[in-house]
Structure 1
Amino acid sequence: MSPGRSIDHEELSLEELRDLTARTNGFYARDYSLYLGWNNVRYIIETSLFQAKLLNRTLIIPSFVYARACEYDNAICADYTPMIDRTEATGIEFPEDQRAGFRMPISLMVNVTLLREAHPVILVSDYLRLHGLSSTLEKTDGSWDRDAYHSGAMVFEQDKSRAPSLYVIENAYYDPKGTNRVDVLPEDMKARGSWSPVGFNVDTGRIGAWGKEVPSSEIHDALWNALPEGQSVLDFDRVWSIIECLDEVGDIEDEAELEQLLRDYGWEILYTFQGALGMDLAKTVVEPVRQVAPRSTLRGFADEYADLDEDVLLLAGETHLERKPGSMRFTSTEASGNFQGMVLHQVHAIDKVHTLADKLHERMLRLTGRRLWMGSHMRRGDFIKEDWVIEHDPAQHVARVKEHLETGRDFLASRQEVRSYDIAGIKPDETQFTHQPPNPDDPFYVATDERDPDALKAIAAGGAVFLNDLLTIEDRQAFGWPLIVTDVRALVEQALLARSAYFYAHSMSSVAGGIVNMRAARGADPRTTLLD
């Protein structure tokens, strides 16, 4: 679906909520980490949407999130949306200068109606209304209240004493050490390993047992010994190089033969996505990869939890940190493609964001004389404090950005054709050939959380254009008050940079990861994106 389609969220009536949830087998809830920034919360929503669909349960998402700063004095933002103490609201200790935040309806941050086109989704406030409970009960830290949320029957329930039942997937049960959480175990895989459900284990939750023992062999032992410390998975290319060196194995004709050999020796092929520079902080889903894991380590999410009949199924605690996109690997290309499609096409900002980004894109073209324009995300604030920023000095930082953009300019000037990411249904964006490549002295766009006036002057002196340079009073009036909140401004900047001809950013940034995914969905050439 085009991001430009106007489908902003509208509150559903009780009857509409009943009909929406009746299509599923109950509710799927999470403990949402609202102390995190928006893009990390978005990762959790992306994962939860897939998991809820996998279990055929209505996904429940928070009614609000917390924005971290106001573009002006905090009192101005507080006139429009509640200002909160993030330490008090979330229970996480923030530094004194980061404690102030703003409570934002989640419908301003993500297009809830579009989410519902992928699978039934409701807000916590919807769930509370549906059960005759006050919206004031919604917990400020994003966790699921196992008592208060289960104190009232559904308003359409005849038996008013019937409170919704609850099953908790404890955090330790999700992917204990030495296991690999996957979406579902295919029937042929279960047959190969003689899998059967064996009930409940107090340490690891619901599990299944692989009954077929894999005998020791040169192949199995070589792969097992190659597993990195603390991990239970190998990259497919690494496996091939190991197998080729073994005396027990003859010449392997093709990948299909290698895959069959691995299955014969107790290893299975899994599908996931390559992280930026080998890390999974940006959570991009644009580069599918194969991995290999011992069959005995696999635990299927649907196999363990799809048969439960409790009204609410709760996955407790945090699961997205230090995990692949989706917080699981997939046992088929179809499943990994379905998750990828959700991320690229269903989890979007609201219509206003894309409408404004289109206008700003046009203004960048005017600034460059209708030539292609380039952009960068320069994350500085917390990256400087954590010593994650590549260059501390703003002048050196912008010089580094310009160096990479110059490489981008050379590519744009020399390319003869446009590619897209190898993703089903996405075609290359050919419109860029309607513009000339950038000139060396053209202005370029920079999205940054830098707020020091002297640092901003240094960045601007290098040729950078900022959001305030492009916005007009008419833009602000049309968009409304949320545009004074920095997290909403960041959504606009992500959408704008998704439209740039070339994009450069830091690989450890979740903001940059979102931009990469958006660029892929728009048909951008993968050679026009660089994360380092």
Structure 2
Amino acid sequence: MVSRTNGFFVRDWSLGLGWNNMRYILEAAVLQASLLNRTLIIPSFIYARACEYPIEVCAEYAPMVNKGDAVGWEEWRSLPTEQQMGWRIPISLMVNITQIREKHPVILISDWLRMHGRSPDEERSNGMWHRDFYHASASVFEEDETKTPSLFVVENRWYDPQNVIRVDRIPDDMKERGYWEPEGGNEDAGERGHWPVQPETKVSEHLDAIAGDNAFMDFDSAKQALQEGITGVVWDLSSDEKIINLLRDNGWEVLYTYKAPWGDYTKTVVEPLLQVVRRSAIRGWVDEYAREKADVLLLAGETHLYRKPGAMRFTTRERSYDFQDTVLNYIVSVAAYDVLAFRLAQRMRARVDGRLWMGAHMRRGDFVRNGWAMEKDPKIHVERVKDRLASGRQVLESLKQKRLVPYDIPGMRVSREFVERDAPWSTDPFYIATDERDPEALRIIAEHGAVFLKDLLTMDDLREFGWPLLLTDCRAVVEQHLLARSAYFYAHILSSVAGGIVNLRAAAGADARTALVD
């Protein structure tokens, strides 16, 4: 598997983050490794951050650690002791490694250590790639025992500093338009190759004024800016094709990404978005680092916040669809989660007499503590959820009279269930996934009609799935798959959990109008 690639790619993994953040960091890493045709190295374990029972119960099944000590963060130090604990579990409990390998070669850090004559127990607890220790021994397959693996570090500040737009690769026609030179560039910023300075035009100056400090804007905004124009200047804007050509002739390029508003916390990949970018701001991942010959290429630090899914934009629509396919069909949970979710969905349907049912994610816990929850008071919060679901019920009622609308995924069709089953009644119960654990708050939410995971799980489910269901993090993945099967879904826009559910819904054939994330 490894021999088919040009060495290895690894990142500093932020193991202090929750699973959904780790998941979309993994999605970006698979993309970055595949573009360079390097075998990806991922952590052997993650930390589950909460136990559904007294912490000693989970400690019987997975090593319990102080999260702050394990990853070196101070985030949890002021919390009660039980909330500072985490449980180290194999990453293979959360993601299907075999399925990822169908798309691109991947190994674990423990595999790397074994490959170099080391014990897997020597894997660092914080997920950081050890620049020295991990490179101190030759591979067991290497005849020359003095040949230790070489390392090249892509410094964090090089990835996409201010006014730089990272893309997958720069196409030849774009290089030709902008006279791109493969050598030179700002060494302090890690730049390899550069765009020679081009004279400004009225179009480029006009767009610069609109974009301000940003090096990009949505295509529709650029189109409107050009339509409003400049007094005395006339442009041919009779088609999108002519607008794109006008942009290209004046130093701006069209790139492909996905709608993911409010800082891109959700990282959804199901609504393609066209953006325009100053050509001089574009830097290609392949163009800069495919030439590197070191055994291991390391991306230092973290790059997931405030970035688009994949941590880069794409220069062709085909590549954006390919990444979408990777996220939806290859970086997926192990099958046991979906098997259990299917069973729970049948029980939820029985509670509404076979009608379509609705659900929501109510992020409480740390969101309440940090002031991110939509409503602090559980009563007001669940009333907000019910209000959104009431609108969702109207959407579901209207689908029988409308054409079903799939998400923008090649070949996708909407499930016929949306028109073959009756819409929910206003009195129907609805499913709530939440990290709220205060008994009084849960009582209030339940009194408003909510059904929780504990209401659907049976002892047989627990026995069949096994000990991971002791961990709240694993239960949350079950709930994501369950809500992917709901007819209508509502959640908070600042949560990566919501983005994971929307992606799952899209892949399962949901109508694009049956989810609201606000």
Report the TM range for the smaller structure's normalisation: over 0.9
Secondary structure of the structure 1 residue equivalent to 2:183: strand
Residue 24 (structure 1) shift: 0.4
Offset of residue 386 of structure 1: 1.6
**C-alpha distance after superposition, 1:316-337 (max 9, x if no partner):** 0011111111111111101111
Residue of structure 1 in register with 2:431 after alignment: 445
Match of 2:395 in 1: 411
After the TM superposition, which residues 364-513 of structure 1 pair with which residues of structure 2 at under 5 Å, given as runs?
A: 364-416=348-400, 417-513=403-499
**Equivalents in 1 of 2:129, 2:440: separation in Å?**
44
Contact 1:219 1:248 in 2 (8 A): no
* Residue 253 of structure 2 corresponds to residue 268 of structure 1: yes
1:141 is aligned with what amino acid? Answer: N
- Partners of 2:399 and 2:418 within 8 A in 1: no
> Aligned pair 1:523/2:509, yes or no?
yes
The TM-score with structure 2 as length reference comes to 0.97
Identity of aligned residues (%): 53
Question: What are the equivalent positions in structure 2 for 1:36-435 lying under 5 Å apart?
Answer: 36-95=17-76, 96-97=79-80, 98-199=83-184, 201-211=186-196, 213-229=197-213, 231-246=214-229, 247-276=232-261, 278-416=262-400, 417-435=403-421
The SS at the match of 2:326 is helix
> Residue 362 of structure 1: SS of its match in structure 2?
helix
Answer yes or no: is the 8 Å Cα contact 2:185–2:194 preserved in 1: no
- Residue pair 2:396, 2:418 contacting (<8 A) in 1 also: no
Partner of 1:7 in structure 2? none
- Secondary structure of 1:478's aligned partner: helix
Q: Distance in 1 between matches of 2:228 and 2:52?
A: 59
Read off the aligned partner of 2:114 and give its amino acid letter.
Answer: R
Cα distance in 2 for residues equivalent to 1:373 and 1:448: 17
CA distance in 2, matches of 1:250, 1:281: 37
Structure 2 residues not aligned, in runs of 5+: none
What is the rounded CA distance, in whole Å, between the counterparts of 1:451 and 1:30 in structure 2? 34
Q: Which range moves more in the overlay, 464-473 or 267-276?
A: 267-276
CA contact (8 A) 1:214 1:265 kept: no
Give how far 1:201 is off.
4.0
Answer yes or no: is the 8 Å Cα contact 2:116–2:138 preserved in 1.
yes
Structure 1 ranges of 4+ moved more than 3 A: 199-202
Question: What is the CA–CA distance in structure 2 between the aligned matches of 1:434 and 1:358, rounded to whole Å?
Answer: 18
1:217 deviation in Å? 2.0
1:172 touches 1:203 (CA, 8 Å); kept in 2? no
Alignment deviations for residues 288-346 of structure 1 (CA, whole Å, 9 cap, x no partner): 11111111111000000012111100000011111111111111101111111111111
Calculate the TM-score normalised by the size of structure 1.
0.94
In structure 2, C-alpha distance between the alignment counterparts of 1:163 and 1:426, rounded to whole Å: 48
SS of the residue corresponding to residue 445 of structure 1 reads strand
Q: Do 1:271 and 1:330's aligned partners in 2 also have CA atoms closer than 8 Å? A: yes
Question: Partners in 1 of 2:465 and 2:204 — Cα distance?
Answer: 59
* 1:454 shift after superposition: 0.1
Displacement after TM superposition at 1:392 (Å): 1.4
Residue 200 of structure 1, CA deviation = 6.7
Corresponding pairs, count: 510
Q: Tell whether the 8 Å contact from 2:347 to 2:456 is kept in structure 1 after alignment.
A: yes
CA distance in 2, matches of 1:426, 1:151: 49
Per the TM alignment, residue 430 of structure 1 is displaced from its structure 2 partner at its CA by 1.1
SS class of match (1:28): strand
Secondary structure of 1:101's partner?
strand
- For residues 53 and 502 of structure 1, what CA distance do their matches in structure 2 show? 35
Output the amino acid matched with 1:366: A
C-alpha deviations, 1:352-396, integer Å up to 9, x for none? 100000000000011111111100000011111121212111111
- Asked if the contact 1:409–1:437 (Cα under 8 Å) also holds between the matched residues in 2, the reply is yes
- Distance in 2 (CA, whole Å) between partners of 1:480 and 1:425 is 36
- Cα shift at 1:464: 0.3
In the other structure, the counterpart of 1:11 is: none
Task: Supply the distance in 2 between the matched residues of 1:63 and 1:23 (Cα, whole angstroms).
Answer: 22
**Which piece of structure 1 moves more, 425-434 or 181-190?**
425-434
CA contact (8 A) 1:137 1:148 kept: no
Q: Secondary structure at the match of 1:210?
A: coil
1:17 equivalent in structure 2 = none
- Contact 2:158/2:189, CA 8 A, preserved across alignment: yes
- RMSD after superposition: 1.1
Equivalent position SS for 2:498: helix
For the residues of structure 2 that align with 1:222 and 1:271, how far apart are their CA atoms? 22
SS at match of 2:509: coil
The CA distance in 1 between the partners of 2:84 and 2:184, in whole Å, is 45
What secondary structure sits across from 2:117 in the alignment?
A: coil
Query: Is the 2:184–2:192 contact (alpha carbons within 8 Å) kept by the matching residues of 1?
Result: yes
C-alpha distance after superposition, 1:183-224 (max 9, x if no partner): 10000111111111225744111421213x432222111111
Give the CA deviation at 1:65: 0.5
1:27 pairs with 8, 14, 27, which one? 8
The question of whether the paired residues in 2 share the 8 Å contact of 1:86 and 1:94 is answered with no
Q: What is the rounded CA distance, in whole Å, between the counterparts of 2:513 and 2:325 in structure 1?
A: 21
| Per-residue deviation, residues 378-430 of structure 1 (Å, max 9, x unmatched) | 00111111212121111111111111111111221221242211211221111
- The C-alpha deviation readout for 1:444-468, integer Å capped at 9, x for no partner, is 0000000000000000000000000
Conserved? CA contact 1:35–1:66, under 8 Å = yes
Cα deviation code 1:146-198 (max 9, x no counterpart): 11111111111111111111000010110111211111000011111111122
Greater Cα offset, 425-434 or 372-381: 425-434
Structure 2 Cα separation of the partners of residues 200 and 41 of structure 1: 33
CA–CA separation in structure 2 for the residues paired with 1:453 and 1:141: 34
Determine helix, strand or coil for the equivalent of 1:102.
strand
